[in-house]
């Protein structure tokens, strides 16, 4: 819970996101090397392959959503924050 709280405070996010922060922490920890596993990840031990981490982003980073043509005029932006 301490890590969840720190993630939320670092990004100045509302506290109702504590569940998402907790899920993110577990997700990252399962893909991080652990000393007890001789610096291997859980994924490497259980699946035999290195975890893919290229999709990870900073917790609390801005997200842009595409607005379909039907829901905007010609001069309005095609995405919104």
Instruction: Report d(CA 30, CA 24) in Å as an integer.
Output: 10
Q: For residue 41, what are the contacts with CB-CB under 8 A and spacing of at least 6?
A: 30, 31, 32, 33, 34, 50, 51
pLDDT tens string 1-49: 888 888 888 888 888 988 988 998 888 888 888 888 888 888 888 888 8
pTM: 0.61
Computed over every residue of the chain, the mean pLDDT equals 85
What was the pLDDT predicted at 66?
92
Domain locations in the chain? 2-80
Any idea what DSSP says for residue 80? E
């Amino acid at each position: 819970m301490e890590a969840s709280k720190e993630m939320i405070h670092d990004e100045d996010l509302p506290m109702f996101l504590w569940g998402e922060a907790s899920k993110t922490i577990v997700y990252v920890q399962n893909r991080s090397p652990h000393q007890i596993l001789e610096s291997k990840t859980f994924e490497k031990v259980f699946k035999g392959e290195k975890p893919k981490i290229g999709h990870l982003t900073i917790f609390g980073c801005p997200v842009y959503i595409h607005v379909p043509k039907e829901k905007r005029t010609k001069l309005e932006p095609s995405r919104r924050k």
